[in-house]
A and B are shown apart, each in its own frame.
Chain A
């Protein structure tokens, strides 16, 4: 045995550790894989050993190999073994490995549940921390369900380190187990106000993440976040909150209005670029959501644009990028304000950074106007020439076309220029957007009639130079342009200058190398051209010319007849035969031109892609009735018109309506859409989505506006778009001159100053008349058009499950599965046991019974009280009762803890919250940070005001939850209790709120509005304050509040409010206290033990301000008084006098207590533990309602109510040094008895004395 151990440790000496492994791999560069496989074999050996250290080392190495891409899932079980080691070192390694390689389908994860639970409740905070970190990476739905309650308990752990991790991991738990969201949410919300900034930040993080996906459920938190935003100084938290507001404002424009001011303040004041940027972003979101209704938001826009300009001008590329990104958001709603920074954006187009250039391009889209379009495009064309990468060049190309064609060619004033741009773009090599250019050419040529002559000439040139374009044969390559060119030349051949030449160009043998669909168009349009040529030649004297043309056709067409492409072959052979027949006729000297041209007579009009659907159904035609037996699938497929040119569709579609049901129709529509998308030759009216078409009934009635062209039409050779810039300028000048003349005339005639706006200066947008007009095509939208955005949410999105209304009160079925005691488990049937998610039926009776039990107990209590009033026995009796009560509760921890979750959750009832939000959004003034602290009295006064103003609304609101509760099928007892608890909870909240008042002094009406929701049948509490008078003279008044410091067990924070009562300025205030052995004032570093604390402000007349002083105390069991002096200078206009004021600072034991929520199960355990000493006190003649009494104890003595049953309540508090103080408060008539337990009897006695004193005062 001993030998084995020795052997084990010797073996161990030769184990490789991580460093050795890394070195080894580096030394075996040539045969790395082989080396690693031997290492893995070694690791496998090591994992077989019993020594946990060896295993941990092996697992550590596996983690490294995992990073290199090796699958280590085979070692999952060993990883679990290492995780369960008791040593932190190994545990950490195990959890690290698990977090790197475990996932939902790792089956050993099931085994870890108990281990993780054990680690979570470990006394060592780092064990817990490591487990939480690991769990965050591999949490599964099962783990989430089983551990949710444990993690929730950790959210109120004493250590902030654990709290923040527990809070953060809740997000993962919610994702995997959405049912946990509602029960856990109240506590999560609580953590938003955690004293530890880390925990607070974690809570903000989680809620922001949740709210980002389902913002509407979190609107009610807006007031809370608003408060955080105005008070927090942590930039991370601020950024998150501000981002969250950005997501919330679209839902609630009123929120936006409230935000603008504090955000602009932040923008002005912050030095952190990240914060500034997020503020600007959110302001933009706000402005977008407001878009109208804010009278002075132009100032905010201006501010944003200004700040963004600074970002863009910065030398830091990152800021530049972000600036442009944000700018593009403004552009959508406020293009004007961005347009003024055109120079800057154009400058960014020259940036060396491609990301920035792309961003700048995005911006350009919205910046064009009729005036600057040509100029901008010219600049872009320059970039096209310069661009190296094809991706960027393609991006430029699409942007140019986007910019020009946007809003139905709104900004194009000269289409000749546009055609030349398109033609110039064809010279790009290697582009993938040939089809885009082609469709633009077709669109323009068809829809702008005035441009056809020019377009045809250009296209003919293109066809002539087709060899330049055929380099790129791939699909969507530039050769697609030839498709458009051939079609335009054929269709509008009457405008051709030299049709014969074009015909020859189209019949060149080289054409046979083009893609099939282009050849097909070539053949068809060659026929059209042929007819045009015939017409001209027959008219002329030479008859042979016509015959020569026919011969040319007959010679060249066989090339196409042999084409592999069916379409080409069919068309070619058809036309070949036709031409042969024509030739025969020609030889007989028959005039055929007229008849041939009749083949292609009639104009093809542009039709919108969706026009077909709008064809009215003839009267009496029932489209839903079957005419014949339902056709088979394949049949209906065949009937789809396979027109090459979409514009032919309406002509034959009217008679072709097959009867199909809605589904089929949708399917077909989809198929057609697909087809159209795939078919590059389907002519869409325009790629832009924003165009607005005029409504006009039919294709035939499209108004075509002819415009007199002021520009010479003929441009020899390939056009250069640049020359249009000059021409355009001239044209505009001429127009302007004309207009002026007209104006003058008008003015002369009218003699009124109305025409003045046209005076001189730069011409406005409207003044630029387009050189050509676009024919506007009717694009009729079918009534049942499917909106494309109806399922923008991915059904697989895990966040969809988290779209949960958080304001609804919790239902019984929604509690977190709680780990129950073994005893309870036995009682359950095995089926229930397996189903950890307690289903309501199995739970309800149990619950009821416990309630009943408690109810009975209460009755008993009361009875006993009446019968046994003897004072001698009483003390003893009470103790027994208390234990009885608490012991009873301890029996059912399951039910108990469920109750508490309920208690916490209930107060957030929908109506109250919503009305609060409304109130907050509508009435409450914007609390400003600069507001001076108000005096205690003033705040107390303020309490009552909003209550009166909105008194009606909350009342009516409150009826609703009650009614709905009545409908629920629960025992009335249960309900009653629930309501009580609810009230209590609300009271507690109220108190907290009060508390805040006095501490922050800045939250005007915001808090009151929350209170309003809680107005109940029980009379409201009188305003309370913890600030007590410290000292006062004719110059100054000091009130103070003493609070224990949660983070440091030996610190007490004293907040002193100094109020100037005189008419002079008070300055140089020095606050000094004589230190005692036990308590010391913490003085700034470097000052002596007798130096005072210099108050960091001066007080002008009538002003008050608050200072905080920190004292260190050693023992907290006894109250203490400290003597001190405040010295200050009273400065008048003419004189200044030194004054002093003595005071006694009274540290009560209460001030060492900290309000700590406690759940009744924990409370029961605490009482059970038996470490606590007990004591009791009796208060006589207390004339106040019980809930007021409780409220006072809570407020003045920092307790929290654990549970309240009728006239009996248990309360809890904790001292800064961790002493537990438990109270059981009972009332009967005017007598109140308080039984208390604490692990420190002296402290307890003092606390009780203080409580007694509090009530003797009132």
Chain B
């Protein structure tokens, strides 16, 4: 079972959190802080497993994480999950995030793919969640076949589009106007090396 999936950046700011067991909000924040504390002090070239923190799960739980560009992807899992399998799953997650961001940029005709920024994750937090829901459900891995996941996500997005989407055109235009005078958000926090190696996924 996966107990929680946490994505936060190098400063411990949450970018996506998903608990598969209920914790009150303040506890959730505490867990994020603790996990960040544990994970952030580790070098990049050490192993990706950590015996669980004190707050989330006891001895049976493990933290499995990957540090990717400015983001930490942390899965808190128990002993029924294969450690290496979860690492591969994180790779899938990363792949999908890049895929999602790519889509967003194609849509908004932003040609600078390199400028994909960590912030785009939170701008499209709901979409990230929807993707995640196709991969993990209720703490269990639902699907590992990438094509299947992409197909289902696309179909749902198409459905949403046919309904006009959440923010219809006028609202978007207004928000664009409203933001004109705002200082440009720094976009140089690149997600870095985009070319992900996905070979380990193919057998799945």
A274 part of interface (Cβ distance < 8 Å) = yes
User: What count of chain A residues pass the 8 Å CB interface test?
Assistant: 81
Residues in A with CB closer than 8 Å to B193 are none
With A236-B204, A274-B88, A355-B49 as known contacts, state yes or no: A69 contacts B25, CB within 8 Å: yes
Interface of B is mostly: mixed
Residues in B with CB closer than 8 Å to A240 are 80
Given A60, A90, A239, A319, which contacts B82 in the complex, CB threshold below 8 Å?
A239
Residues in B with CB closer than 8 Å to A702 are none
Q: Which residue of A lies closest to B143 (CB)?
A: A198
Residues in A with CB closer than 8 Å to B133 are 96, 133
B46 part of interface (Cβ distance < 8 Å) = yes
Q: Which residue of A lies closest to B183 (CB)?
A: A27
Q: Which residue of A lies closest to B30 (CB)?
A: A69
Q: How far is the CA of A132 from the CA of B152 in the complex (A)?
A: 15
Interface pair B166/A17, CB less than 8 Å apart: yes
Residues in A with CB closer than 8 Å to B50 are 355
- What's the minimum C-beta distance from A26 to chain B, rounded to whole angstroms? 6
A126 part of interface (Cβ distance < 8 Å) = yes
Given A64, A198, A271, which contacts B148 in the complex, CB threshold below 8 Å?
A198
B192 part of interface (Cβ distance < 8 Å) = no
- What's the minimum C-beta distance from B177 to chain A, rounded to whole angstroms? 10
Q: Which residue of B lies closest to A106 (CB)?
A: B22
Residues in A with CB closer than 8 Å to B24 are 71
Those of B10-29 within 8 Å (CB) of chain A: 14, 16-18, 20, 22, 24-26, 28-29
Residues in A with CB closer than 8 Å to B57 are none
- What's the minimum C-beta distance from B139 to chain A, rounded to whole angstroms? 8
Interface pair B47/A318, CB less than 8 Å apart: yes
Q: How far is the CA of A63 from the CA of B166 in the complex (A)?
A: 15
Residues in A with CB closer than 8 Å to B130 are 92, 96
Those of B76-96 within 8 Å (CB) of chain A: 80, 82-85, 87-88
Which of A204-212, A330-338, A985-993 has 4 or more CB atoms under 8 Å from chain B? Answer: A204-212
Residues in B with CB closer than 8 Å to A236 are 85, 141, 144, 204
Q: Which residue of B lies closest to A9 (CB)?
A: B170
With A93-B166, A96-B130 as known contacts, state yes or no: A168 contacts B25, CB within 8 Å: no
A53 part of interface (Cβ distance < 8 Å) = yes
B70 part of interface (Cβ distance < 8 Å) = no
Q: How far is the CA of A234 from the CA of B145 in the complex (A)?
A: 10
User: Beta-carbon contacts of A654-681 to B below 8 Å, as 1s and 0s?
Assistant: 0000000000000000000000000000
B45 part of interface (Cβ distance < 8 Å) = yes
Interface pair B84/A273, CB less than 8 Å apart: yes
Q: How far is the CA of A70 from the CA of B18 in the complex (A)?
A: 15
A57 part of interface (Cβ distance < 8 Å) = yes
With A22-B123, A66-B25, A271-B203 as known contacts, state yes or no: A209 contacts B1, CB within 8 Å: yes
Given B25, B46, B125, B152, which contacts A64 in the complex, CB threshold below 8 Å?
B125
Interface pair A93/B126, CB less than 8 Å apart: yes
Given A70, A89, A317, A355, which contacts B160 in the complex, CB threshold below 8 Å?
A89
With A13-B171, A92-B160 as known contacts, state yes or no: A137 contacts B138, CB within 8 Å: yes
Interface pair B145/A67, CB less than 8 Å apart: no
With A17-B171, A104-B22, A209-B80 as known contacts, state yes or no: A320 contacts B47, CB within 8 Å: yes
Q: How far is the CA of A243 from the CA of B141 in the complex (A)?
A: 15
Interface pair B203/A67, CB less than 8 Å apart: no
B106 part of interface (Cβ distance < 8 Å) = no
Residues in B with CB closer than 8 Å to A53 are 166, 168
Q: How far is the CA of A164 from the CA of B136 in the complex (A)?
A: 12
With A27-B183, A67-B16, A274-B85 as known contacts, state yes or no: A89 contacts B125, CB within 8 Å: no
With A12-B171, A93-B126 as known contacts, state yes or no: A318 contacts B49, CB within 8 Å: yes
B119 part of interface (Cβ distance < 8 Å) = yes
User: Beta-carbon contacts of B22-64 to A below 8 Å, as 1s and 0s?
Assistant: 1011101100000000000001011111110000000000000
Residues in B with CB closer than 8 Å to A137 are 20, 138
Interface pair B47/A69, CB less than 8 Å apart: no
Q: How far is the CA of A133 from the CA of B131 in the complex (A)?
A: 12
Interface pair B29/A69, CB less than 8 Å apart: yes
A165 part of interface (Cβ distance < 8 Å) = yes
With A53-B166, A161-B152, A356-B47 as known contacts, state yes or no: A88 contacts B160, CB within 8 Å: yes
Interface pair B125/A63, CB less than 8 Å apart: yes
B188 part of interface (Cβ distance < 8 Å) = no
A1165 part of interface (Cβ distance < 8 Å) = no
Given B25, B43, B168, B175, which contacts A71 in the complex, CB threshold below 8 Å?
B25
Those of A133-169 within 8 Å (CB) of chain B: 133, 136-137, 161, 164-165, 168-169
B137 part of interface (Cβ distance < 8 Å) = yes
Those of A236-254 within 8 Å (CB) of chain B: 236, 239-240, 243
- What's the minimum C-beta distance from B199 to chain A, rounded to whole angstroms? 10
Q: How far is the CA of A321 from the CA of B49 in the complex (A)?
A: 8
* 5 chain-A/chain-B pairs, Cβ below 8 angstroms: A69-B29, A89-B164, A169-B138, A239-B85, A317-B46
Residues of A bordering B, CB below 8 Å: 9, 12-20, 22-23, 26-27, 53, 56-57, 60, 63-64, 66-71, 87-90, 92-93, 96, 100, 103-104, 126, 129, 132-133, 136-137, 161, 164-165, 168-169, 171-172, 197-198, 201-202, 205-206, 208-209, 212, 234-236, 239-240, 243, 271-274, 277-278, 317-322, 352-356
| Beyond known contacts A17-B172, A318-B83: 11 more, CB 8 A cutoff | A18-B125, A20-B178, A57-B166, A67-B17, A69-B29, A133-B133, A168-B140, A198-B145, A243-B80, A277-B83, A322-B49
